[in-house]
Chain A
Amino acid sequence: MNMKTIGRAAATLLLSLFGCVALVAPAWAFCGFYVSKADASLYNQASQVIIARDGDRTVLTMANDYQGEVKDFALVVPVPVVLEEEQVHVGEPEIIERLDTFSAPRLVEYFDHNPCDPVALPAPMPQAPGAARGTANEALEFDDAESLGVTIESQFSVGEYDILILSARESEGLETWLRQNDYRLPENASRLLQPYIRDGLKFFVARVNLEEFEDGDFQRLRPLMMAYESSRFMLPIRLGTMNATEAQDLIVYLLSPRGQVELTNYRTVRIPSDEELPEFVEDEFGDFYKAMFTHSYDREGKRAAFLEYAWDMAWCDPCAANPLTPEELRQAGVFWLNNLRPQPGQPRRLPAQPGPQNVFITRLHVRYTRDRFPEDLRFQQTANRENFQGRYIIRRPYRGEMECAAADPYRQQVRDRQAREAETLASLTGWRLSDIRRKIDTLPTPEDPRPWWQDLWSGRGRLNPG
């Protein structure tokens, strides 16, 4: 890493449910500083899920990015066990944004120093980082459930949601029951529901309780969280492909006390990282990341999931956002930290500064379609504690006055570098090289280069006979 450069800022990318390999100490932020971000708003149909898991214990948080009329909202998710009221919770939407900002692919920048100045040490400038629960008792109407082979295993209200946990004998019965109870299902839903029923899964069905929603004065629907114990470490995506016309983006934040989480039935591929890019990418980092992601996705045959971030959550370098506090980790579903629960008789004590927390985050970005991702996602925890981040670098050339012998070689070096950066950008995104070159602010060649004949006539190049 170049000691003589100084870094400044960086960036992030967030997407929407069902939807510098850091070998250096964090203090100096050798990996540059956060400049810009590419977030969830980049993707039209994106979902975000947090899965915190230790052993068989799992806390699943589903972000709710539902855009339509609240009264029409309904969610059907296959779950491995029957959930009781205490196991379901309504989370804070901010926690998903926090995780996203913390883990998003980032753009960092470095400034070349004046090649004519004595060596200056870098002066890093760190960047600052960046619910009420109600009850509802209105019972839903459940006619004919038994005759249709549908069993309501449990029903309760949590926050603005009315929840049902259903089990069923046959998919037609379940489909009929759901339709009778005003759940809008796409055509052929039973074909997709049947394998889940046969596999012993239950159905978590959520609807918005309008009174609660209006009383609560919520701006948007909050994420649903569920805690359960099951050996199945999977995420059902098949219902999501039911009537999707195009590929869907899913971002999964996997929190584990052990190490990286990877898919076992699809490839997990690292997103290209640590690439040096032209300066103009700062202004269009979102477009760049989207194009690069699509290019990588196509190159892998649209069959792979991408690793965008894998890091010990106690620190980061560069930090797109401060590490999460223990309280924020708890909100994200982390249940294995000892210091979360105050001892009886003792006030809760939380460390003022984030410290070692035994939480490893893996951020996977999956773009899936029915034909390339026919199976649900299955995961496994690994012991892999290698850090990885999607990180892109801008090197700012020194553009001030340069009057010394080192200036010309420096200019040439920068021009070579700019040419390489253009080629890198073209190969990462598939953009046209000529378009890229046009946008690059190439460092000018030395002014008035001395004509080659000048020395010949001026006598400076004359051979000394003596």
Chain B
Amino acid sequence: MFKDARDAQIAFLALFLLLGVSTRDWTLHPSLLLATIASCLLAQWLSTVLIPYAQQRRLGAAIAPDTRPVPLLSLPGWRSALITSLGLCLLLRANSPLTMAIAGCLAIASKSLLRYQGKHFFNPANFGIIAVLLLTQNAWVSPGQWGAEPIYLLFFAGAGCLVLGWVGRWETSAAFLVSYGGLEAARSLYLHQAWDIWAHQFSSGSLLLFALFMLTDPRSIPNARGARLLWAVAIALSTFVLQHQFYLPTAIFWSLFALAPLTPLLDARWQAPAFDWRAVYRRDRQTLADG
């Protein structure tokens, strides 16, 4: 049905947004959605088309006469930018379209500005969220917005497994969920707390959405499987501490932000080929042809 795993991801995120607005009592102004999507796509165009184009015009001919000119009317990486913007629409809330636009621009800018050896290490949407939480006074995240209803959890889990199975990153989500659930279970045991409290904490729709769709961005997380497992466990541990020691309701976003710079270190320690969406697409086509 989808040629690219990212198409599936875009479809699912758009569906979640639709579900949130229609069944979860979210009040999202269309202007905010529009500002987010437009700012992400515009920033993507600026960073992948206009700036390279200008550089080529200025220096290109002298340095590399064979370089093909960047066509101005193209938008490479639009899928990734759209995924980032949908992620922001789902998670970030703000009073003004300007705040959403700042989040969108900073999210996309982080991909080109914060790179190490050609790879960006911040999850763009997460970076945008934390940036506006830090820089502005009129943005927030609503961790309770999905509630804890089994039907949504099943839906998220199904959609997440489909996309993650495709890109081969399901173990990252699993490692995070198992370690976070384990830590919460240990805390419940220590507190002598009833188990339905643990079940309630663990069945938060926002937690599942984060674990399945934000934590697993294959382009920004460590390349080697072992490194990813370690990284996911570290994020779970940090989330647990921030939540229960510092009472931060948005602990998961801060943890991912704080630990993202570990990615280059882990990549240096455990080397593996970097993720390439086109490779996944080629592999699938090959499998189909062989089949």
Contact = CB atoms under 8 A, between A and B. Distances in A.
A194 B192 contact: yes
B268 to A, nearest CB: 36
Interface string B203-225: 01000000000000000000000
Contact of B249 (A195, A378, A383): A378
B194 interface: yes
Contact of A301 (B27, B139, B149): B149
Contacts of B93: 382, 384
A382 B246 contact: no
Contacts of B192: 171, 191, 194-195, 198
A268 B191 contact: no
B24 interface: yes
A386 interface: yes
B2 interface: no
A385 interface: yes
B285 to A, nearest CB: 43
A304 B25 CA distance: 11
A231 B200 contact: no
A383 B140 contact: yes
Nearest to A267: B147
A304 B139 CA distance: 23
Given A194-B192, A265-B201, A265-B204, A386 B247 contact: no
Interface in A244-258: none
B112 interface: no
B39 to A, nearest CB: 19
B114 interface: no
Contact of B197 (A198, A233, A269, A375): A375
B244 to A, nearest CB: 9
B143 interface: yes
Interface in B161-211: 190-194, 196-197, 199-201, 204
Residue of A198, A303, A374, A378 most packed against chain B (CB within 10 A): A374
Given A195-B192, A375-B200, A383 B247 contact: no
Contact of B142 (A231, A262, A378, A385): A262
B25 A265 contact: no
B155 to A, nearest CB: 15
Residue of A233, A265, A270, A385 most packed against chain B (CB within 10 A): A265
B196 A374 contact: yes
A194 B191 contact: yes
B149 A374 contact: no
Contact of A380 (B27, B139, B249): B249
A50 B140 CA distance: 23
A265 B190 contact: no
A232 interface: yes
A171 B146 CA distance: 35
Contacts of B25: 267, 269-270
Interface in B57-99: 93-95
Contact of A262 (B95, B144, B199): B144
B144 A374 contact: no
A56 to B, nearest CB: 9
B197 A374 contact: yes
Contacts of A268: 142, 144
B156 to A, nearest CB: 15
Residue of B93, B192, B199, B201 most packed against chain A (CB within 10 A): B192
B145 interface: yes
A214 interface: no
B144 A265 contact: yes
A264 B246 contact: no
Contacts of B142: 262, 264, 268, 382
A296 to B, nearest CB: 10
A195 B192 CA distance: 6
A440 interface: no
Contact of A263 (B144, B146, B191, B193): B144
Contacts of A117: none
A374 B143 contact: no
A58 to B, nearest CB: 12
A270 B94 CA distance: 18
B147 A303 contact: yes
A435 interface: no
A383 B93 CA distance: 9
Contacts of B94: 383
Contacts of A304: 147
B158 to A, nearest CB: 20
A385 B204 CA distance: 26
A374 B24 CA distance: 21
B281 to A, nearest CB: 38
B5 interface: no
Nearest to A232: B247
A431 to B, nearest CB: 23
A211 interface: no
B204 to A, nearest CB: 7
B271 interface: no
Contact of B138 (A198, A301, A380, A383): A383
Contacts of B194: 374
Nearest to B24: A267
A22 B94 CA distance: 18
Contacts of B27: 270, 386
14 contacts: A265-B144, A265-B200, A265-B204, A266-B144, A301-B147, A303-B148, A371-B196, A374-B197, A375-B197, A380-B143, A382-B93, A382-B140, A383-B139, A384-B95
Given A195-B193, A380-B143, 5 more contacts: A265-B201, A301-B147, A378-B249, A383-B138, A384-B93
List 10 A-B pairs, minimum CB-CB distance, nearest first: A382-B140, A264-B249, A267-B147, A195-B191, A194-B192, A383-B138, A231-B247, A195-B193, A198-B191, A374-B196
